[in-house]
Each structure stands twice: as structure tokens, then as C-alpha cells.
Structure 1
Amino acid sequence: MRLWKRAVAVVLVATAVLVLESWVAHASPALFKNCTYTRTGDGDVRPPYSLAPLLGAVKVTVSTDRGTLELRLDRKNAPCAVHSFTHLALNRYYHETPCRTRAILECGAGQAGFRYPTELTGQEQYRRGVVAVSKDGDGNGGGFFLVHDVHGAPAGTTIIGAVSNGLVLLDQLAADPDRPVRISEVRIG
């Protein structure tokens, strides 16, 4: 009789766990997006893992030889691009790299070693202070840019965030486009 009661208890607990697990899986939104990063053969950085977080913001500090910019990256609309950016920053890809200034401040050292599809919502607005990923052929690569002049911003690029502190510095950099800008470090957090 005891064995029978144990068997029933085990079956009931197992059923409850399966029902609860199924309910949680369907009731909660996804926490990760499966991204496709394709190796290109050039560049030294391996692609990030394919699972990119969908929630939250990433604080980024970009230290240059002309001052510091603080960025806030939003995973909501471009999780794969934000995941790639943070991966490259943590692997020191942007350290000691140049930036070119025109209507945008474009930074990065060329080929990262992988590319991934653009993440466009159809609602992109390239306002002053927007941070976006530079296109690399038919997808995104390792470069990024900060918009200063909205009329010179390239359309069809993935927006990953905005400048949260440092718009005055961005104005100064844009006012002197012939003076080189060099990133010394990009920190996450």
C-alpha cells in the first residue's frame, strides 16, 4: 500500500512540474534572441555566442584622446547588434582605434572577423546623439557611429542606442573634423 501511495505522489508531482514549466514557457516573454553571426575570415575577434539578451540597457563609456562619451545601448530593438558591440568592447576591439568625423563620428578598426544581419524596425530616426552600427556589405560589422548632423546620417543602419552624456564633446569633435580622434578604451558597465 505504501509503494502505491509513493507512486501516485511521484506522478502527481511530476505532472505538476510539467504543467508549471509549460505555463511559464508560454506565459513569459522570451529572454534571448538567437542571432546569426557569420565568420568573414578577416579580423581577429571570434563571433559572440548566438544567444543575445532581449531585456535591459547597457551602459558604455568611450574614452577618447579628446574626452569621454557615455552611451546607453538598448537591447529591445537590436539585441544582436548590442550583443555584438558589447562582445567586441569586452574583447578590446575598439581600444586604440581611430574615429573619423564628418556628419557622424565613425569609429572602429575595420573588419571584426564576423558580420550579422541588420536589425531594422522601420521606425529608425537618426537624430543627433543616436548610436548606430556601421554597415559592412550586406550586414553589420564591427564599426559604429554617433550622429551629429542628422542630414549626413546613413539611413538603413541598425540603431543600438544614444549618447547619454557627452553631446557637448560630440559638438566639439564635429566642429573640428580635421583633428584626429582616437579611442583609448571602451568600458561596459
Structure 2
Amino acid sequence: MRYWKRVLAVLVVALLALVIEGWASNAQGAPEGAKACKFTKTPGIPAQVKPPKPIASTDGQVKVTLQTNLGQIELQLDRKDAPCAVHSLSTLAKGEFYDGSSCGKLTTAVLECGPVEPGYHFKVELTGQETYPRGTVAMSNQGENASRFFLVHQTIELPPESTVVGQITDGLDVLDEVVAGGIGADERPATPVWIAKAQVN
């Protein structure tokens, strides 16, 4: 009888350990339908904004309107494959981080927009199947993501190294106007373009 009591006690302790371990894991991780994100302070760079909360939804889409000096550009951001990037970009937009910033780099394929550094960075999110057709919205990165993003005005073949966050649903004519103006010194658009207001709808 004592033997079976000891066996039962061991089983109870083991079960309790598993329950506690599972509870701790859930407490530290993300709930269903969400992903844990790690936003790390950039060394030597003063924080421009407070980093987003470290939990991002993996469901649904976010619509962002870029009101530029040349017209309106509508973006549809998809959380599925890049929840942390979409969470960061939309949080920065809500905090007016992009307001008044320029789209300061133009190449034969992309227009790059937004401030370079918010004071934090985070890992790129990749599936390995990324492509960059006309209308793609993706994060610029130097090994990690921050706040700068680019808009593809001409389909380009690139290695799958930049996080794709969504698509331009309206306003490609604005990009075409910038492209028509040509590329100026230091790859800046000859036709200046800036974001007056970034609004999350």
C-alpha cells in the first residue's frame, strides 16, 4: 500500500510541475492569434518614441493612409507574415512619427520613406518566398527592421531579405509622378515628396 501511495505522490508532483511549466510558458509567450515581438533599443541613438507593446496580433489587416504633398497613397498592411513589422509601423503612424517626414530616396524601382531611426529595432520577418512586384510595401533594413519602409513603383527582383508588410491599394499615380520627375543628386527624388500625415484607418 505504501508503495502505491509513493507512486501516486510522484505522479501528482509531476503533473503539478507540468501544469506550472505550461502556465509559466503562456505567461511569458503570446496568446493564440498573437506573436511576441522583441523591440530592442538602438545603442547610441536617443529614443525618438516609446517602443510598441511586445505582443502583436497575427490576424487581419491594417489600412494606412499617407497624405503626401503630391496626393494620397493608401496602404493595406497584412499582419499574417509580418505581425511585428505591421504592429511597429502602425504604432509609429498613430504616434505621428511619420508626419512631416520625407521620402528621401528614389531608385529605378523603389521610393524609400520615413525617418531612418526611431530609437529601436527588431528582427526581420521572412518566409523565404518574398517577391517585390509593383505596389509592394516593405521594410528597409540594415540587417534588422526599424521605421523606414519602401514603396515599389517598378517590379524588381531582389533576394527575399526585406520584410513585406502589405500592398498599395490606391495612389500609385503619386509614385509615378515622383518617378517622372527623375532621380536627383544622392538618389533623392528631383520632385520632392513628403508625408504630411500618416493615418491608421
The one of 171, 175, 181 aligned to 2:176? 171
Residue 57 of structure 2 corresponds to residue 57 of structure 1:
no
What percent of counterpart residues are identical?
42
1:121 and 2:133 matched: no
Q: Which amino acid aligns with 1:187?
A: Q
CA distance in 2, matches of 1:46, 1:154: 32
Give the aligned residue type for 1:167. L
- For the residues of structure 2 that align with 1:90 and 1:167, how far apart are their CA atoms? 23
- Aligned-pair distance for 1:171? 1.5
Residue 20 of structure 2 corresponds to none
SS at match of 1:63: strand
Unpaired segments of 5 or more residues in structure 1? Answer: 1-24
CA distance in 2, matches of 1:186, 1:155: 27
Q: What per-residue deviation string (whole Å, max 9, x for no partner) do you get for residues 109-156 of structure 1?
A: 121110000000111010000000110x32101101100122376751
Structure-2 residue corresponding to 1:10? none
Which AA in structure 1 matches 2:38?
T
| 1:76 paired residue number | 80
Deviation at 1:84, TM superposition (A): 0.3
Q: Structure 2 CA distance, aligned partners of 1:134 and 1:112?
A: 13
Distance 1:91 1:176 in 2: 31
1:9 alignment counterpart: none
143-152 or 162-171, which deviates more: 143-152
**Count of aligned pairs between the two proteins:** 162
Structure 1 residue 169 displacement after superposition:
1.8
Range with greater deviation from structure 2 (70-79 or 173-182): 173-182
Q: Where does the alignment leave 5 or more consecutive residues of structure 2 unmatched?
A: 1-25, 183-189
Seen in structure 2, the aligned counterparts of structure 1 residues 174 and 184 have a Cα distance that, compared at 3 Å, is same
Partner Cα separation in structure 1 for residue 70 and residue 159 of structure 2: 24
How far apart are the structure 1 equivalents of 2:159 and 2:170?
A: 23
Q: Shift of the alpha carbon at 1:105?
A: 1.1
Residue in structure 2 matched with residue 6 of structure 1 by the alignment: none
CA shift at 1:61, angstroms? 0.3
1:148 corresponds, among 141, 153, 161, to 153
For 1:153 and 1:65, how far apart are their aligned partners in 2? Answer: 29
For residue 133 of structure 1, give the secondary structure of its aligned residue in structure 2. Answer: strand
- Aligned alpha-carbon RMSD (Å): 1.9
Say if 1:147 and 1:153, in contact at 8 Å, map to a contact too. no
The match for 1:131 among 137, 143, 165 is 137
Corresponding residue number in structure 2 for 1:39:
41
> Does the C-alpha gap of structure 1 residues 124 and 86 become closer, same or farther in structure 2, counting only changes over 3 Å?
same
Partner SS, residue 90 of structure 2: helix
Q: Matches of 1:162 and 1:171 in 2, distance apart?
A: 16
